[in-house]
Structure 1
Amino acid sequence: MGSTLEAEAGAESPAHRPLLVSLWGKGGVGKSTLAAALAISLRKRGLNVGLISTDIFPSIIDVLGTGKPGEWFEACGVQVLAVSKELASRMWRERFGDEIYKVFSLLFDVDKETLLSYLEEAPWILEQVYLMMVVEGLKRFDAVVWDTPGAGGGLLMLELEEKLYRHLRLAPRIYSKLRIGGHEPIDKIIKSWRKLAEEILQTIHSETHVPIVVVDAFGGEWQVREILHALESYNLKPKAIIVNRVVTGEVCQSCKPFSILAGIASGTLQVTKEIAISRGMEISTVPLVVPPPKGCKMLDKLSSLFGNINVLR
């Protein structure tokens, strides 16, 4: 599935755009931990960094050991937002509530609260706001690290945004004859919605967006190929792969379980390297850390592993 915006992308120079780094992978592979470490790594370079998690069950707060969903907070020198359904609902109503009621009240005899309460349960509404938060963050920070939901949820956001954009391209043909109070044409409102959807998709497909795939060393090659295929079907070309929780036989040579895990990790790493080379992608490895890194001190140490990723320079 290619982007519908390829022919309409703006000509703004990438050098003048902030950096967007997104992490993609299945749930439980350590994306939130690595997202926090990557954000700290970018902060060490002198950048003003925002870390945004669009997972409605955010692990990022547990990883950082502070904050709560739905509010910006500072942690480890980085500004952090873990979205919440309540925050997204409030933002959607504030930004679009009046316009949506103007449009739909011409078609249905319904009060505003009933209409908005019904529509905000639609599958694309809150996902649109989550993506909007990421784009808004890029207007505030030098770099934004985007901690996506488990791959299915993150890819659903992209799919719904593409469908919304295509729908809004056709909508003016249908609604252009309707006017609000006999004066303001509806297509003016719809075009403003389309412009936002266009901005979101252009950001996601821009040259300054660095999608990074995170895989678990114990997951096998199927997870690598599956995630890459899914992202590429949305015209997203990952620029790096991070293999997380790599364990070697040296960890405990007399421990049979570790030897077995080391063998699995070695196989995954070898296949991942071959895939990365064939696609011109960078590859980085993160060792298994027990217990998992939490808090600024441990995350700061982990962040040192990402200083050599060229696509982030």
Structure 2
Amino acid sequence: MTNSSAASTVRAEGPRVVLVTGKGGVGKTTSAAALAVDAARSGRRTLVMSTDVAHSLGDALGVELRLAASWDETLEVEPGLHAQAVGARTSVAADWGVLRDYLLKVLDSVGVDAVVADELTALPGADEITALLTLGHHASSGAWDVVVVDCAPTAETLRLLALPEVLGWHLDRLLPAQRRLLTAMRPAAAAAAGVPLPGPEVLGVVTTWREHMAQVRTILTSESSSVRIVLTPENVVIAEARRILTSLSLHGYAVDAVLVNRVIPVDDDPWRAAWNAAQAAGLTTITESFHGIPVLTAPYLAGEPTGTEALAELAARTEVLDGDLAPLEAPVRGTALRVEEDGAEFVLALPLPLARSGDVDLARRGDDLVIDVGGVRRVLALPSVLRRCIVKNAGVRAGELRVRFVRDEEVWPRGG
């Protein structure tokens, strides 16, 4: 299924980025690889990246794909199509070394054994940070028209996509403190404190990471990026896909399509007929659940689709079941957070499809609003106008969280 009639068009604002995710075992990697092969054979310069620690992308493509040593290291699979597997040892290691060396000095100064210190300074989330930095590099390099990302299963994908905002939030609060510390504390004070002060090179790395996270967040929430959810027509899988749609919306990410994989062709065989009936019911639930989002179907093939020819066949046999799938060159139509003025009050509106009021917990922390939906949390920095307000009430209506604010008379009196 070729995704556009204008395949050779180059996006002036950067490549089209499609992140492919789904519950483990639904054929996510195969689907990502098929999309990439189809895009490349349509005339687009295409890169398919694996951020899944399982790294089975090479198996799907039928090539030996090793972990890239740097973010520029890609493997040409066929003309117009390159592949890459990224992990904790790709690119970011040099920058992390600066922070790690500082932490080792701090731990040594307080008497922590060197072997233990080495274990304590293992970077949590290194795979996710590397993936984001590498994606940001490719999105701004001008080398690609399409970047397809084979993400980890849904829980890890949510952690990956939440990271730019979460890490940015923490770094925004760390950087001013670091600057004040480096300005106010002299070596004598550091000696009195008993721990070494971070040098300017440490602050430089943290600042660079903050800039990269802001860039990646901008890319992933732009009209050039979307998430594609892969699922199978089974109740447990459908339920998880519904949850990830809500969670992605919570973090401001657009879903451009859901792909129902492994749909068994209709047959008179009694065994297949039973599966056909069950899958038909599942497809009905999917089209109702994801109303407004294109639903695609891919057949359950006689053999495992490995290698570019089999993947191209899979892409050709993928069909639109419901809705209209926009070409890859078209802007992604997402629905972002907005603030509306309603008389003397303000309403913060955030799309949360499939959520109910009982699923949502809110907490105000200073200038931040903490939103928890079914255990998935987002710390939202409030727009300036809402920082001088207090929450009046909140609820979910028609797939949208609406939080109503009123002026805090102590800090924003009438006429002020």
| TM > 0.5 fold call | yes
Equivalent position of 2:67 in the other structure = 70
8 Å contact from structure 1 (residues 41, 306) kept in 2: no
Question: 8 Å contact 1:178–1:186 — kept in the other structure?
Answer: no
Bigger proportion of residues as strand: 2
Q: Which string of whole-angstrom CA distances, capped at 9 and with x for unpartnered residues, describes residues 217-236 of structure 1?
A: 23454233122122222222
Partner of 1:269: 283
Question: Larger deviation: 197-206 or 238-247?
Answer: 197-206
* Distance verdict in 2 for CA 1:116–1:135, change over 3 Å: farther
1:206, distance to aligned residue in structure 2 (A) = 1.5
Which position in structure 2 is the counterpart of 1:294? Answer: 306
User: Which structure ranks higher in relative contact order (CA pairs < 8 Å, sequence separation ≥ 6)?
Assistant: 1
The alpha-carbon deviation at position 152 of structure 1 amounts to 1.1
SS of residue matched to 1:79: strand
State how far apart, in whole Å, the 2-side matches of 1:22 and 1:297 are.
22
**Residue matched to 1:95:** 95
**Cα pair 2:107 2:117 within 8 Å, conserved:** no
> In the TM superposition, what is the alpha-carbon distance from 1:200 to its structure 2 partner?
1.7
Confirm whether residue 218 of structure 1 aligns to residue 250 of structure 2. Answer: no
- Measure, in 2, the Cα distance between the counterparts of 1:81 and 1:116: 32
**Aligned position for 2:376:** none
Specify the SS of the correspondent of 1:249.
Answer: coil
SS in 1 for 2:180: coil
- Indicate whether 1:239 and 2:256 are aligned: yes
Q: Give the alignment's Cα RMSD to 1 decimal.
A: 2.9
- Separation (CA, whole Å) in 2 of partners of 1:90 and 1:284: 34
Contact between 1:177 and 1:185, CA under 8 Å: does it hold in 2? no
How far apart are the structure 2 equivalents of 1:28 and 1:214? 10
Which residue number corresponds to residue 7 of structure 1? Answer: none
Equivalent-residue separation in structure 1 for 2:117 and 2:257 (angstroms): 41
CA distance in structure 1 between the partners assigned to 2:117 and 2:148 by the alignment:
31
Structure 2, unaligned runs of 5 or more: 1-10, 69-73, 188-198, 330-416
Q: Distance in 1 between matches of 2:56 and 2:94?
A: 27
CA shift, 1:186, in A, is 5.6
Change (3 A) 1:266 1:124: same
Aligned to 1:16, the other structure's residue is in SS state coil
Q: Indicate yes or no: 2:139 matched with 1:125.
A: no
Distance 2:312 2:152 in 1: 23
User: 2: distance between equivalents of 1:121 and 1:247?
Assistant: 45
Q: Using the alignment, how far apart are the partners of 2:208 and 2:163 within structure 1? A: 18
The residue type paired with residue 46 of structure 1 is G
One-letter amino acid of the counterpart of residue 75, structure 2: F
- Relative to structure 2, which stretch is displaced further, 174-183 or 205-214? 174-183
Given candidates 223, 228, 232, the residue that maps to 2:245 is: 228
Runs of 4+ in 1 over 6 A off after TM superposition: 113-116, 180-183
Q: Is the 2:67–2:90 contact (alpha carbons within 8 Å) kept by the matching residues of 1?
A: no
Name 1:168's counterpart in structure 2.
171
Cα deviation, residue 45, structure 1? 2.3
- Aligned partners of 2:235 and 2:166: how far apart in 1? 32
Range that drifts further, 154-163 or 193-202: 154-163
The one of 13, 31, 38 equivalent to 2:35 is: 38
Contact 2:91 2:130 in 1 (8 A): yes
1:144 aligns with 147
Q: Which has the larger radius of gyration?
A: 2
Aligned equivalents of 1:184, 1:285: Cα separation in 2: 53
SS of residue in 2 equivalent to 1:176: helix
Deviation per CA, 1:177-219: give whole Å up to 9, x if none.
3449988486444322211111122222111002111111234
Structure 1 window deviating more from structure 2 (178-187 vs 240-249): it is 178-187
Q: Does the CA-based 8 Å contact 1:240-1:311 persist in structure 2?
A: no
d(CA) in 2 for partners of 1:79 and 1:118?
A: 35
Given that residues 22 and 147 in structure 1 are in contact (C-alpha distance below 8 angstroms), is that contact kept between their aligned partners in structure 2?
yes
- Give the whole-Å Cα distance in 2 for the aligned partners of 1:73 and 1:247: 34
CA deviation string 1:237-266 (max 9, x = no partner): 21111111112432xx12x32112111211
The answer for the alignment partner of 1:23 in structure 2 is 20
Alignment partner of 1:69: what SS?
Answer: coil
Percent identity for Structure 1 against Structure 2: 24
Cα gap change, 1:62/1:208 in structure 2, threshold over 3 Å: closer, same or farther? same
Instruction: Rate the CA distance shift 1:101–1:122 in 2: closer, same or farther, 3 A.
Output: closer
User: For residues 264 and 152 of structure 1, what CA distance do their matches in structure 2 show?
Assistant: 27
Given the superposition, is the C-alpha separation of residues 79 and 186 from structure 1 closer, same or farther in structure 2, using an over 3 Å criterion?
A: closer
Contact 2:297 2:318 in 1 (8 A): no
Contact map agreement 1:52 1:81 (CA 8 A) in 2:
yes
Q: How many Å separate the matches in 2 of 1:101 and 1:82?
A: 24
Determine helix, strand or coil for the equivalent of 1:291. Answer: coil
Query: Is there any run of 5+ residues in structure 1 with no aligned partner, and where?
Result: 1-13
Task: Indicate how the Cα distance of structure 1 residues 117 and 73 shifts in structure 2: closer, same or farther if over 3 A, else same.
Answer: farther
C-alpha displacement at 1:67, in angstroms? 1.5
